[in-house]
Amino acid sequence: METAHIAILPSPGMGHLIPLAELAKQLIHHHHHHHHLSITLIIAGTLAKSAEVLNNLPKSINSVLLPPPNVDDLYDAMPLTRISHTITRSLPSLREVFKVLSTTTRLTALVVDQFGTDAFDVAKEFKVSPYIFCPTAAMVFSWTLYMPKLDEMHSGEYRELINPIKLPGCIALQGKDLFLSIQDRKNEAYSLFLQHCKRFKLAEGIMLNSFIDLEPSTINAIKEGKDDINMPPVYPVGPLVQSGSKDGVDVSDCLKWLDDQPHGSVLFVSFGSGGALSPEQFTELAFGLERSEQRFLWVVRSPTRKASNANFFDAQSVEDPFAFLPEGFLERTKGMGLVLSSWAPQIQVLSHASTGGFLTHCGWNSTLESIVHGVPLIAWPLYAEQRMNALMLVQDMKVAFLPKEGEDGIVRREEIAAVVKCLMEGEEGMRKRKRMRELKDAAAKALSEDGSSTQSLLELTHKWKTQAAV
């Protein structure tokens, strides 16, 4: 039987690369006995940060780095615009890679994420089946499918819509809660977003980084409604998350500190690889953590004056974040809290017995990691689709608290302290913890040998192997 070869092309950004690299590992993992699948991971854009992910790939996965296109003209553009153009400008080099792969392998499928659909043109030229891997919640995927319709129905800005919108199987959302990248319809990011949404139906299948028991009503609604809108089949294959790599220099210090803390007593505070707070919000958070009198492990990045995704393409803090902490903060919280600059071994922290809660920006990778490790949340969304995730975690899954912001958009220290106390010590926190443990078990089950996500993935690979054999 011929080996089916699968090309995987993540868009730039760790939020895309990490789950797609995990998909590659998962595909190889299920097929290492039969060798009926081989994989090339194709990297577009400058990926200084991705080196670590690529170094941790199994030897059996090939990776190809495309020459990074020049995107200097997009320096001030929204991340989505840069991501999208990086892929489009990389198509000529992708074509060269496809020329080689199509003569040396049985190139069967191309998998892209939700912003890589322009690469479908190349797949079509080489008669390769196009697939999408959606690294978001199933609910967010439902909204992606609905966007073209929403665009036709409304002409103003979505944040001005008065009534909430309800999609089948999903919680109702206000227009202002939708994707951050579509909140300005005159911005190029909006038309690009829409264009990708419209191309979803060109795929032969769509994989979701979620699982039936996490979003049952949403996934069932998608499966039931897909014929109405001429939708490709949907395969929930999640949760695909990184397993912690054991290397890393600073790892030992913070994990040693955690070893010394009581079971379930520490709140982990981290805003992901792209998140940054305003200086004022940063200060309020510091005082809020101090006032809560709870133990915390806080990954700080220097605050930024401009948009909250300022670090999207560069995870290093620009200035020394410690300089922004309130005077005397470190002395006053010594022993209770540990402050780390820019980075923590997130998987090891979340899986540590001393960790009892996670204050997170609700990026979907971080959300799935907390589910896999059973850690309840304080939701603090910053950009992209994070507000949608946060509302789902609070209202639908009931595993998170959402701090209230004031009129000025700032969450005050009193509110932060109260919510942190509630999660770590309160009865409502206990309920959320229990609910998160149930989801943790459900996630393990979905990925077990006869679990729903494993079955979904096998269905798909069977399809690919059959195609390769033709």
Active site residues: 16, 113
Quick check: 60 and 37 in contact, CB under 8 A?
no
* Angle, CA 382 vertex, CA 434 and CA 252 arms, to 5°: 65
Q: What Å distances lie between residue 318 and 301, 305, 310, 322, 368, CA to CA? A: 8, 12, 10, 12, 28
Here the tokens at position 350 are 């979340």
Q: What Å distances lie between residue 287 and 40, 366, 404, 408, 412, CA to CA? A: 48, 24, 16, 18, 9
313 CB neighbour count, 10 Å cutoff: 20
Which residues have C-beta within 8 Å of that of residue 203, sequence separation ≥ 6?
117, 120, 130, 131, 132, 232
In DSSP terms, 234 is beta-bridged to 206
DSSP state of 228: T
Q: Using CA atoms of 408, 193, 54, 269 in order, give the dihedral in degrees to the nearest 10.
A: 20
d(CA 172, CA 174): 7
* Angle, CA 9 vertex, CA 4 and CA 10 arms, to 5°: 135
DSSP-H helix ranges across 160-259: 188-199, 216-225, 251-259
Cα 354 → chain centroid = 25
Residue that has been written with the tokens 């992910």 in this structure: 53
| Selection from 37, 98, 97, 29 nearest residue 57 by Cα | 29
